[in-house]
Structure 1
Amino acid sequence: MRRVFLSFLLSLFFLLPAVAEDAAPLMKIEPLTVATDGDATMFTVEIADTPASRERGLMFRQRLPDKHGMLFDFGQPREVEMWMKNTNIPLDMFFIRPDGTIAYIAENTVPQSLDVIGVREAVKAVLEVPAGTAKKLGIRPGDKVYHRIFGDTQ
């Protein structure tokens, strides 16, 4: 039994570096709330706040659970263009102003599409959630997103 366990540990030792090379770096996970006219919904989001994490985004993922997403923090407000290259799941994208209000929602984006998705307004962040979330929860432009990057508290 001890020999089998030792053999298992050795195989993990040699296997982990190969797995780690293909794996994306661990992201920060934080709560975020979207408030609509009649309700508020809390999401669990991964934070993409570095060039590498924003570039990778949700690429290669096979699923994204309800009420989960990725918040792309661009730091300074700017015009943002996104696409779905290497993204396997349809998404709703919320383009968010520096004050936390939603400027624009791109619903049901097409997986793998190279079409540019954006808004001609300076935004601070983009929230990506599973496709259909905006419709299901009644989220519309003008609704408010609460998260630390917008200088508000939840």
Structure 2
Amino acid sequence: MPANNSTKQNKTKLLFLVILLPIIILVFICSLVFGLAAENRWGSVNLIDELFQNNDNQLSDQTITATIKGNDDINLNLEIADSPKEHSQGLMYRHEMPENNGMIFVFDNNDYREFWMKNTYLSLDMAFLDENKQIINIFANTEPLDTEKTYPSTKPARYVIETNAGWFTENDVEEGDYFEFNID
């Protein structure tokens, strides 16, 4: 006995709901995710990274004020990054930072360090300091969002200070100068 049209329509609807609809939804989700993850031609960061970014503009409430040894007129307010999570987040995803502010990366030991600018929208100055808080080397005016170039210390460093680009030049702070700060 031939199947009636109603039974064929029900089977078609069932086939659509059970098999085709989930496939269509899966294809849509995959294209959305891969589309968001693709970097555009003009060098913008991955949108997926932005979706999962830490929306707090400050990593922690821990801050210190640092001065240049012999010149107490130069003050720098620094957020403290002293955990692996804070080290990896750093100043990523920030679009502005107040003048005379920055971040200090505190490490447990003196070792060679290397930084990059992934997901960092601000041009920064970076200073690598040894365990005596002496500036080993400075990188000025880093390129925002650059994932190709890295910025290494030339000697073992215990601290790294990041500031707005131009801060070290504007304040006549050079390699060989000493910072003064207390970290508990």
For normalisation by structure 1, the TM-score amounts to 0.77
* Residue matched to 1:133: 167
Equivalent in 119, 132, 136 of residue 99 of structure 1: 132
Equivalent in 38, 41, 46 of residue 74 of structure 2: 41
Cα distance in 2 for partners of 1:141, 1:89 equals 22
- When structure 1 is superposed on structure 2, of 72-81 and 114-123 the one drifting more is 114-123
Structure 1 letter corresponding to 2:91: L
Cα distance in 2 for partners of 1:40, 1:94 equals 19
Displacement of 1:45 in angstroms is 0.6
The answer as to whether partners of 1:31 and 1:147 remain within 8 angstroms in 2 is yes
Structure 1 residues 65 and 123, CA gap change in structure 2 (3 angstroms): same
The answer as to whether partners of 1:33 and 1:145 remain within 8 angstroms in 2 is yes
Moved over 2 A (4+): 21-27
Structure 1 residues 120 and 22, CA gap change in structure 2 (3 angstroms): closer
Q: Deviations over 1:44-75 (max 9, x none)?
A: 11000000001000000001111100000012
**Identical columns (%):** 29
2:55 pairs with 1:23: yes
Cα distance in 2 for partners of 1:26, 1:147 equals 18
Cα distance in 2 for partners of 1:48, 1:147 equals 14
Cα distance in 1 for partners of 2:178, 2:90 equals 23
Equivalent in 126, 140, 145 of residue 112 of structure 1: 145
* Residue matched to 1:90: 123
Structure of higher RCO (CA pairs closer than 8 Å, 6+ residues apart) = 1
The answer as to whether partners of 1:46 and 1:71 remain within 8 angstroms in 2 is yes
Q: Deviations over 1:108-127 (max 9, x none)?
A: 00000121101231110100
Structure 2 letter corresponding to 1:23: N
2:164 pairs with 1:142: no
Structure 2: runs of 5+ lacking an equivalent: 1-52
